[in-house]
Chains A and B, each alone.
Chain A
Amino acid sequence: MGKIAPVTGAERRDVKIPVEDRLFSLVLALLATETGLLKAEILSTVRGYAEKYDPHGSNANLERQFERDKDEVRELGIPLETVESPDRPGDNQALRYRIPKGQYDLPDEVRFTPDELALLALAGEVWRGASLSEDSRRALTKIRGLGIEPREPVIGYAPRLRVREAAFEPLRTALDRRQRVRFAYLKPGETAPRERRVDPYAVVLHEGRWHLHGRDVDADGLRTFLLSRIVGKVDVVPGATFAPPAEGIQDRILAELDELRLSNVADLAVTAGSDAEVRLGKRAVLGDEDAGVIRLHYTDVAVFADELAAYGPEVRVLTPPDLRDAVRDRLRLVAETHAARDPRGAR
């Protein structure tokens, strides 16, 4: 019972089938079946498994291999289905696996013009590093399978968007898998980070900052977090999944952030000829050049105060008072921590 015949096993394992060969054979076999294949059928006949299959053994390793392959295939957007036996519900050995062709094929209406293909290639170029560039590359490979020749690539551009927040990758994966996460969050105005448990609904980039929007489980309400204020690791809360959020929630949250931005107005005095005048001036909604005053919208007091502090004496906040105080406090902090004394003594 459960014993593996060592000689046959070793012989069988001599046959080396590359991973992509096994995965390809698995996808073909599951696409070709209507009723689905039993796990035992897959392991004993599909190339890449069959060579290692032991009709008298437990095949536990091979089964684990199959479980991993299944996940891998699904991650690629291939709709690998599990069908329960109507006669033997709940029986794992009676489960059947298949890939319905209608849900596998790229729908007929999804065809691209040569111009669109060139633009998509540029969109894929935007991402540097991380899973986003890998995902873009795979999407473009699939689209090239349609056989449409792109127009000449869009020249003269090298657009790049980087994601520097370490929290981004785990959050994006959790978002995709609808897993609850846990992380320490340092809210502006608080001195110590506090643990949050969140069902992630959307990750959006607004005003150059990545935000997470989701349901704060403990507060039982919708919250938006800045990724740059997440301290340390983002962990998945095992076993806790949640219902999909409303479609287009990411666009709604961007609209909300925009509304918030428009409701916040700051008047700034900028030094003539300075970096602040040139760069902030480009974003001004109103400006009085003679007085050297510009009016800008902003989303978050703390974030905007950080940005303004960088300009040092080139900019001075006239209103609102909370922004004014925030910038002054930041400048004071920088001045104090850099005051002329032993850095070890600085607090």
Chain B
Amino acid sequence: MTQRRAALRAPDKLVFLLSLVPYLIEQQVVTVAEAAAHFGSTDEQIRDAVRLIAMSGLPGDTGTYQSNDLFDIDWDAFEEHDEIVIVHHVAIDEAPRLAAREAAALIAGLQYLAALPENADSSALASLTAKLRAGASATPSGLAIAEPVADSSLALIREAITGGRQLEFDYLNARGEAGRRRTDPLRMLSQDADWYLQAYCHTREDVRNFRVDRMSELEVLDFPVGDHADLDVPETLFQGSSSDLDVVVDVAAEALPLLADYLADSSTQEVDGRLRVTLRLAHVHGLKRLVSGLPGLVTVVAPADARQVVAEWAAAGLQGYDEASVR
């Protein structure tokens, strides 16, 4: 497991301490490295916590923290062998309950994962949810996610990834170009309602992101995938490139978060009650769809040809209705 080095805030540290104690009691003897692996923390975070626990306890009747009211560890084992043994504990021996909002966050996360092929057995998710509810100190707050529509392609992609086999499919890209693609599938990413396959594309000889809803006629091939350990697989879905297009738009303030993926920089300027920002997109085809899907909320200011493409796209759509009404 990777060593996470993010600094924790005091409430997080408290939760860590309260969870580490019952774990250590249950394990009886455990090395610092094992405990760190279990909690996904660093060795040093474990050592700091153990030192703090070993000095902690109850004020006791006299209010003076006498040794019998304190935790105690086997200091020799700890300092010489990096082993943790709790020899005396006070007040706690069990893991704490979940806060209502903590349980709610995990339950909603599970609901989102219901779309995954391995979760087709919904009774397993239901029983897991029931356990989280039972483990919460109050009724989890009313947060819920509708079960996402499962795209049947996901199961085939999953099969190809886990089996290490190549995957072929018809793909229609955002520019409207269709073609058969042969890929070595690497992993599945999702962003909200949209699923993507990150794969090494044999045609392009590079890593590409494919929108699952633009794929059709999928076929898991009998060929194994190549070794891509040396490939730089990006963590994010959207990466800028030199061929990108910068577009200046005016956007209603409430719609700005919807453009977050496309902002070229963080600068905004107020113009006539709207915010003027610069978007960076791969091409103008993405722009016309983006702007038309936020009607009245986003207006392209420059460049003029980008503005014209949007105008023509909407006008062409509008024409369909005029012709139909004549017919």
Contact = CB atoms under 8 A, between A and B. Distances in A.
A315 B314 CA distance: 11
Contacts of B307: 338, 340, 343
Interface in B164-186: 172, 174, 176, 178, 186
A206 B99 contact: no
A332 B318 CA distance: 6
Contacts of A157: 116, 187-189
Contacts of B112: 123, 126, 159, 161
Given A77-B98, A116-B128, A156 B314 contact: no
Given A141-B19, A144-B39, A156-B158, A202 B109 contact: no
A105 B301 CA distance: 59
A329 to B, nearest CB: 8
Contacts of B302: 343
Contact of A147 (B22, B105, B308): B22
Interface stretch (A2-10, A39-47, A215-223, A287-295): A39-47
Interface string A281-325: 011000000000000000000000011011111111000000010
B289 A312 contact: yes
B67 to A, nearest CB: 14
A19 B10 contact: yes
Contact of A135 (B20, B52, B104, B296): B104
B43 to A, nearest CB: 16
A291 B4 CA distance: 56
A70 interface: no
Interface stretch (A22-30, A59-67, A86-94): A22-30
Interface residues of A, number: 133
Interface of B: 10-23, 26-27, 38-40, 52-53, 56-59, 63-65, 90-92, 94-106, 108-110, 112-113, 116, 118-119, 124, 128, 131-132, 134-139, 141-146, 149, 151, 158, 161-162, 172, 174, 176, 178, 186-193, 213-214, 216, 235, 250, 254, 257-258, 260, 288-296, 299-302, 307-308, 310-311, 313-321, 324
Interface of A: 18-21, 23-25, 27-29, 31-32, 41, 44-47, 50, 72-73, 75-79, 103-107, 109-112, 116, 119-120, 122-127, 131-147, 149, 154-162, 164-166, 172, 175-176, 186, 201-208, 213, 228-232, 244-245, 247, 249-251, 253-254, 257-258, 273-275, 278-279, 282-283, 306-307, 309-316, 324, 327-328, 330-335, 337-340, 343, 346
Q: Lowest 4 CB-CB distances: which A-B pairs, in order?
A: A77-B99, A310-B293, A202-B142, A145-B19
